[in-house]
Amino acid sequence: MNEKIRHLREQMKRLNLEGMIVSNPISIRYLTNIQAEGTLLITRKENIFITYAMYMEDVNSTLTINDEVIVVDIKNISKDEFENFFLFCENVGFEEGYVTYAEYKKIYQRYKVNNLVETEGIVEKQRIIKDNIEIENIKKACEITDNCFSHLLTFIKKDMTEKQVANEIERYFKENEADGLAFETVVAFGENSSKPHWIPSDRKINSGEPILIDMGCKYNGYCSDMTRTIFLGCILEEYKPYYDAVLKNEILSLDQIKDGVVVKKATEIIDENLKRNNINLIHALGHGVGMEIHEAPIIHTNVESYFKENMVIAIEPAVYFPSNYGIRIEDTVVVTKNGCIPLTKSDKNYIVI
């Protein structure tokens, strides 16, 4: 059995689950590499992927013997067989955060299990700590993102629109081995940079304005996430103290965050530090990055859990002056025993193009 399914089975044991119905395609891809539509059953003795005829060939070529997953065409499963999958199981888990209420009722009907039990993000929790292959995929996504950023420094010219820059980023990712975007790119010029989730518009860039770019791609299903705020022509003096404060605290975060530190504690240090510079962070300091661009853990002053080695997270301190400007600096990093190692490595000092 592969390591990820074996680990899931151990966690299930701790929750007294004798079986589990895995429905979320991200969970299924994480556990098996399968990207086809279907349902993964973790039964007492077997791992079974139920899919459709049209996907059988593809699924079988994805799986290795080591996975120990049996693939079944849904139309060959009788009503009785569905009811027998979990025959001697008392508690069977399902993904209550993914399955709709209507699907929940269908599952109940179909498998006739004794207790259909909530699993409280069992797979999402497992995904928090990355293995070497996952980190390599994220590294590669970060490398493509860094290269794209270098390219943008010569690409962006006066009078270009936010949309033109965003389209170029997408083109670059697609033509450079990425699967595609990890999320909708933010390209914000001038006053638009004060809105954390700005959607690129037809606004043109003028000299002296900040250019906030928040971008990421996917590689083998894994995301990167990086933000840089650069300037066209020159940097106004008023921006500099805020830029310096954001940058200093981004670097300080990478130092504070390490295996064994409570999320709340590290985040409070940065928060207070920013406040001393008159910066009120209006969003979380960061978030986990993996198969999803936002995944556990949330890095916020209300989170009591610990940072652990091989978590991959994005750290993004920022300052926003509504209708005026914003500065955000963000890196994707991997947590170690001694601090964070950046996986996105683009220059973070003042960049004027």
**Residue whose C-alpha is closest to residue 30's, from 295, 303, 298, 333:** 295
Query: Which of 65, 78, 102, 207 touches a second copy (CB under 8 A)?
Result: 102
Whole-angstrom distance, CA of residue 251 vs CA of residue 245: 10
Nearest CB to a second copy, comparing residues 29 and 258: 29
Q: Under rule CB under 8 A, how many of the chain's residues touch a second copy? A: 17
Query: Tokens 């390599």 belong to which residue?
Result: 136
Q: What is the contact mask toward a second copy in residues 104 to 143, using x (rule: CB under 8 A)?
A: xx------------x-------------------------
Query: Which of 96, 136, 292, 309 touches a second copy (CB under 8 A)?
Result: 96
Contact 51, 28 (CB under 8 A): no
The DSSP 8-state label assigned to residue 201 in this structure reads: -
298 CB-near residues (< 8 Å, 6+ apart): 284, 287, 288
| CB of 28 vs a second copy, minimal distance in Å | 17
Instruction: List the beta strands (DSSP E) in 178-316.
Output: 180-181, 186-189, 210-215, 217-219, 222-223, 226-231, 286-288, 295-299, 312-315
Indicate whether 6 belongs to the interface with a second copy (CB under 8 A): no
Nearest CB to a second copy, comparing residues 167 and 310: 167
| CB of 315 vs a second copy, minimal distance in Å | 21
Whole-angstrom distance, CA of residue 187 vs CA of residue 12: 43
Determine the interface stretch with a second copy among 73-81, 100-108, 216-224, 342-350 (rule: CB under 8 A): 100-108
H helix runs in 237-322, sequence order: 239-256, 263-276
Contact 44, 88 (CB under 8 A): yes
Determine the interface stretch with a second copy among 62-70, 89-97, 217-225, 306-314 (rule: CB under 8 A): 89-97
| CB of 202 vs a second copy, minimal distance in Å | 11
Residues between 167 and 196 with contacts to a second copy, criterion CB under 8 A: 167, 170-171, 174-175
Coil, strand, or helix at residue 188?
strand
**Residue whose C-alpha is closest to residue 198's, from 31, 62, 318:** 318
Whole-angstrom distance, CA of residue 280 vs CA of residue 27: 36
Indicate whether 98 belongs to the interface with a second copy (CB under 8 A): yes
Nearest CB to a second copy, comparing residues 98 and 155: 98
Nearest CB to a second copy, comparing residues 118 and 272: 118
Query: Which of 29, 110, 151, 163 touches a second copy (CB under 8 A)?
Result: 163
Determine the interface stretch with a second copy among 93-101, 238-246, 266-274, 293-301 (rule: CB under 8 A): 93-101
Nearest CB to a second copy, comparing residues 65 and 282: 282
Contact 225, 182 (CB under 8 A): yes
Whole-angstrom distance, CA of residue 40 vs CA of residue 37: 10
Report the interface residues with a second copy, using CB under 8 A: 94, 96-102, 104-105, 118, 163, 167, 170-171, 174-175
